[in-house]
Structure 1
Amino acid sequence: MNTTGTPSPAPTATPLRTSITPGQPWLDTNGQLIQAHGGSILHVDGVFYWYGENKEHTTGGTDVWHWGVRCYRSSDLYNWEDCGVIIPPVLDDPDSPLHPAQKMDRPHIIFNPKTGQYVCWLKVMQPDDTQKSTVLVAEQLLGPYRIVRTNLQPLGMSAGDFDLVVDPSDGKAYFIFERVHSELIIADLTDDATNVTGYYSTHFPHPHPPFVREAPAYFRRGHLHYLFTSGTTGYFPNPSEVAVATTYHGPWRVLGDPHPDDDSRTSYRSQICSVFRHPHKKDLYIALADRWLGDRPVDARKAALMFETAFASDTPSEHFRRYEQEDPEVFAMPDTSRAGYVWLPVRFDGEMAYLDWHDEWRIEDYQEANSPEEGRPGGA
């Protein structure tokens, strides 16, 4: 049984995987498409846990936006066992942030060493286009989780895509988020990691989409802090950007597009959601990305121009209504229940971080760490 109370699908003879194949369908050990979108990986007691949005019922033809947060576990990052829905949808309360019709996105879970709890933040888009946060805590990674904050507007701001970071040296936590359609904010979290303290810094200001940076994905390599971000074009993919700093609060320097060989200017038709450092490899960082539109053809330049024109006007909603009427197939809600994943290793050249395309790649091809320190976030 999974945590929704319904029987899990009967196991099938799914062949064991021995590599990562970006963009190809990824099935769990039951032979079902993995549903862990916009999420990340945690490594706990020698086991990898991959969690994210459960989109199994989000086919584009209904008002179902999510079906909770789902989690999988693995010993090799190739083959994933379904652990079920660890934060289930709330079906009987339309006002709950966990109701399937609520636009809940991008769960991020951290372990807080100061409280011994797992803390999960969720972004929930509101009908008036503001975006608010819901915060939950649990004693175990797989739950049960309980809501401790809803309708939170950190620092009084509309908080969009985000990442959570815990400093490995002192346990201090940070909330990195898009101040919707404006700039990126890096805010200190309280000791329990369920709210902001009030101390924050601002970065990458832009006048409007598609230039505003969203989907921040943080990682640290040695003394350098990194951020991958995307532009703001809805489900349409766009060029990523990488920036570097020597402290969490910057100043941040933009280094450029980590996908320089992608002529389509779509980040390989994907959007990065997080970066995971392998704990047993010397210098292996894996960028996790979602291919939200699947195989749907994408004209990235046209999409960016539409967003730029709409948001540069005083009436962006009217522009988008016209676009939808003129090209309904392009603007139709995608079937994200079948959205794919693009996982790629990060290649470093000096300070610059690149993501080269691989049809197939293997964890075993990367050098083992010589010591535990080399596998930690601050290790070189």
Structure 2
Amino acid sequence: MRVLYAILATLLAAPANSKYIVPGGRWHDTNGTLINAHGAGITFDQKTGRFWWFGEYKTQAQPEGPIDSHPYISPDNIIQRPKVAYSPETDDYHMWWHADNSTYGLLLQGHAVSSTIGGPYTFVDATAPLGNWSQDFGMFTDYKDGRSYALYSNGDSVNGRDVYISSMNDNLTALEKAVYRFPKFDLEAPSIMQTEKSYWALMSHKTGYRPNITFSRSKTGEWTPIKGTTYTAQNAKTSGDAYKQEAVSKATYRAENA
């Protein structure tokens, strides 16, 4: 087993001299270091009571894999969009990501494990999810039942362009089954937000950095596209059955206890 160092895990918290997180501003971690974590996922850790930000450390000509000649985590491989979830069954943390070669010809999901959320993470394997392809990767844990789900598009080819929601097993070592498929939606960068009554899926319909939103009462039920929700400097708010947008000239978010 080899230790995977290539993916950055940064503790997300407001700097001591700032209580605000400003979109477009320079965000720093608890050590005052500028956050560099592309394609990120945020994990709340019950043990530490902290939010952790996992993402890709991007610099000029930065190699993504740490081990030469490794089939999945060499400097020539693609390691993108890392997400981490905790398994109470095994009392450890599981990192999953989009694993690929430099030509995006593998379309796999990578898996690593650690006994602590801050790592180091030990590489386990890279596999085709349920025998399918996997490109942009996301992960969602339902706070009501504790079950985690993998979210992924299956590539840009004519035979792909689907987005899947697939349940994971209790110890987060494998996918169990696809519970929903967005057929030929040609969406990428999938993520899900959950309220008391609903689930909201945010994905990119190849509209640059402007997300597109769909809505559902159930992870396995029909998802309804929300019309006119491609936005840039706006706040998206949910309240019961209603969806509301408010255009704002500036957006500032206060970090009370990050």
* Range class of TM-score, shorter chain: 0.7 to 0.9
Q: Is 1:348 aligned to residue 232 of structure 2?
A: no
Q: Which has the higher strand share?
A: 2
User: How many angstroms apart in 1 are the aligned matches of 2:42 and 2:112?
Assistant: 18
1:226 maps to amino acid: W
User: How many angstroms apart in 1 are the aligned matches of 2:203 and 2:244?
Assistant: 13
Who wins on radius of gyration, i.e. which is larger?
1
Alignment match of 1:197 (pick from 170, 176, 181): 176
Instruction: Give yes or no for contact 1:113–1:171 (8 Å, CA) kept in 2.
Output: no
Q: What does residue 174 of structure 1 align with? A: 149
- SS of 1:121's equivalent in the other structure is strand
User: How many angstroms apart in 1 are the aligned matches of 2:90 and 2:56?
Assistant: 25
RMSD: 2.9
Q: What does residue 41 of structure 2 align with? A: 40
Q: What does residue 54 of structure 1 align with? A: 57
User: How many angstroms apart in 2 are the aligned matches of 1:347 and 1:65?
Assistant: 39
Instruction: Give yes or no for contact 1:225–1:248 (8 Å, CA) kept in 2.
Output: yes
Alignment match of 1:243 (pick from 214, 226, 235): 214
Instruction: Give yes or no for contact 2:180–2:219 (8 Å, CA) kept in 1.
Output: no
User: How many angstroms apart in 1 are the aligned matches of 2:92 and 2:38?
Assistant: 23
What are the equivalent positions in structure 2 for 1:76-95 lying under 5 Å apart? 89-91=65-67, 93-95=68-70
2:26 maps to amino acid: P
Alignment match of 2:87 (pick from 112, 116, 136): 112
What is the TM-score normalised by the length of structure 2?
Answer: 0.79
Q: Which has the higher helix share?
A: 1
- SS of 2:21's equivalent in the other structure is coil
Aligned-pair CA distance for 1:258: 3.2
- What runs of 5+ residues in structure 2 fail to find an aligned partner? 6-14
Instruction: Give yes or no for contact 1:240–1:257 (8 Å, CA) kept in 2.
Output: no
2:254 maps to amino acid: I
1:348 maps to amino acid: T
Instruction: Give yes or no for contact 2:72–2:100 (8 Å, CA) kept in 1.
Output: no
Aligned-pair CA distance for 1:159: 0.4
User: How many angstroms apart in 1 are the aligned matches of 2:73 and 2:197?
Assistant: 38
- SS of 1:256's equivalent in the other structure is coil
Aligned-pair CA distance for 1:178: 0.7
What are the equivalent positions in structure 2 for 1:225-304 lying under 5 Å apart? 225-232=199-206, 237-260=208-231, 267=232
Q: CA offsets, 1:79-138, max 9 Å, x none?
A: xxxxxxxxxx524x2335333332211000011223222111010233253411111111
- What runs of 5+ residues in structure 1 fail to find an aligned partner? 5-13, 67-88, 207-211, 261-266, 269-343, 369-380
User: How many angstroms apart in 1 are the aligned matches of 2:255 and 2:27?
Assistant: 19
What is the TM-score normalised by the length of structure 1?
Answer: 0.55
The 1:105–1:357 alpha-carbon spacing in structure 2 relative to 1, beyond 3 Å, is farther
2:123 maps to amino acid: I
Q: Identity rate of aligned residues, in percent?
A: 22
Q: What does residue 146 of structure 1 align with? A: 122
Q: What does residue 135 of structure 1 align with? A: 111
The 1:185–1:363 alpha-carbon spacing in structure 2 relative to 1, beyond 3 Å, is same
2:113 maps to amino acid: V
2:50 maps to amino acid: V
User: How many angstroms apart in 1 are the aligned matches of 2:147 and 2:205?
Assistant: 28
User: How many angstroms apart in 2 are the aligned matches of 1:125 and 1:33?
Assistant: 27
User: How many angstroms apart in 1 are the aligned matches of 2:20 and 2:178?
Assistant: 43
Aligned-pair CA distance for 1:177: 1.0
Alignment match of 2:164 (pick from 185, 199, 204): 185
- SS of 1:155's equivalent in the other structure is helix
